[in-house]
Structure 1
Amino acid sequence: MRQIILLVSLLISFSCFSQEPDDSDKIKVKKVVNQFFESLNKQDTILYKKILFLEGQIWSINNTTKSSSMSMRFFRDDIGTFNPDEIWEEIPLSFDIKIHNGIAMAWVPYEFKVNGEFTHCGIDIFTLSETNEGWKIINASYTKYLDGCNELKN
């Protein structure tokens, strides 16, 4: 009987000390990623600056032309590209979030529209770091496609 009690106690303690992040961290990371989309959609530079490390990089892999191209810029460079004459909609299709010891990754398929018209789809990959002010996006990479967008919705 003593061995059974010891075994049950050990099994309970293993689940209590799991290394998996709790759901509240995933909720916080998802909130920051959604705020990124909100900042683009509203072209809100104040929110954009609040959730990003402005020295962070954005990598783009553009597959909308015959030959794929790759480019890099900094978050701070995007602030000047906001255009109030256009309505941007970056629509997340799903979220896959991984977290470990103050670093997080969010894999987010998306669709992008300008003035209500579809322009492209792709995958956003965000890297976030937990700071004293909360989670911040420190890096982003994304792909751009014209075809295969329905596959991203699954």
Structure 2
Amino acid sequence: MKKYLFCILMLIGYSSIAQTNSSEETPEKFVENFFEAFHDQDTIRLKQMAHQEARLQSVSKDKAGKTVLVTEEYGKFIKGIASIPPDAEFKETIHEFRVEENGLMATVNTPYSFHFNGKFSHCGVNTFQLVKFEGEWRIVYLIDTREKEGCD
């Protein structure tokens, strides 16, 4: 009888440890990890964070003040990150996280400012559309705005 009680207590203990260690990643933490991989130029990790059909777009204004929408494949984004020279310094500073999570989907908006080699480049807002596949968040759509002026 003592052996059975001991086994049951061990299983209960193991179960509670497993539940403690399997905390799910929040959408905010996922995006923080994305920017960590971005700044580390970790293209393998960046690729794993996106669904194979992920789509990227950027909104900006041209010199004439006309709104321009640019669409890019996620793979091209990854190649662009890999091509940044090792001596270049780039930093995207996130000013705030606005998260709306609804079951299998989440939207994360992050106002940001971007500096390249210590100089201000642009600012804007990133909007991540995330979907949870098999318990893990993946980027399915990422759009950002890029402004040169009006950044506070």
So what's the TM-score if we normalise by structure 1? 0.75
After superposition, where does 1:85-124 map in structure 2 within 5 Å? 85=86, 86-124=88-126
The alpha-carbon distance between structure 1 residues 133 and 101, as it changes in their structure 2 partners (threshold 3 A), is: closer
Task: Tell me how far 1:129 sits from its aligned partner.
Answer: 0.4
Q: 1:75, 1:90 → 2: CA distance?
A: 18
Kindly report which structure 2 residues correspond to 1:8-23, keeping only aligned pairs within 5 A, or say none.
none
Q: Is residue 50 of structure 2 the alignment partner of residue 45 of structure 1?
A: no
Matched letter for residue 36 of structure 1: F
Superposed, 1:21-100 pairs within 5 Å as 28-63=26-61, 65-67=63-65, 68-82=67-81, 83-85=84-86, 86-100=88-102
Deviations 1:130-151 (A, max 9, x none): 111511111100000111211x
SS of 2:26's equivalent in the other structure is helix
Shift of residue 88 of structure 1?
A: 1.8
Once the 2 structures are TM-superposed, how far is the Cα of residue 39 of structure 1 from its aligned partner? 2.0
Query: Which residue identity lines up with residue 106 of structure 1 in the other structure?
Result: V
Superposition RMSD on alpha carbons, in Å?
A: 1.8
Query: Hey, what's the Cα distance between the residues in 1 that align with 2:62 and 2:33?
Result: 26
Cα shift at 1:64: 6.3
| Secondary structure at 1:149 match in 2 | coil
The one-letter code of the counterpart of 1:111 is S
Query: Distance in 2 between the 1:43 and 1:122 partners?
Result: 21
Instruction: Number of aligned residue pairs: give it.
Output: 126
Q: Over alpha carbons, which structure has the higher Rg? A: 2
Are residues 144 and 44 of structure 1, via their aligned partners in 2, closer, same or farther at CA, if it must alter by over 3 Å?
A: same
Deviation at 1:43, TM superposition (A): 1.1
Structure-2 separation of matches of 1:72 and 1:44: 22
Report Cα offsets for 1:86-135 as digits up to 9, x if no partner.
22211110011001121000011001111121100000000000111511
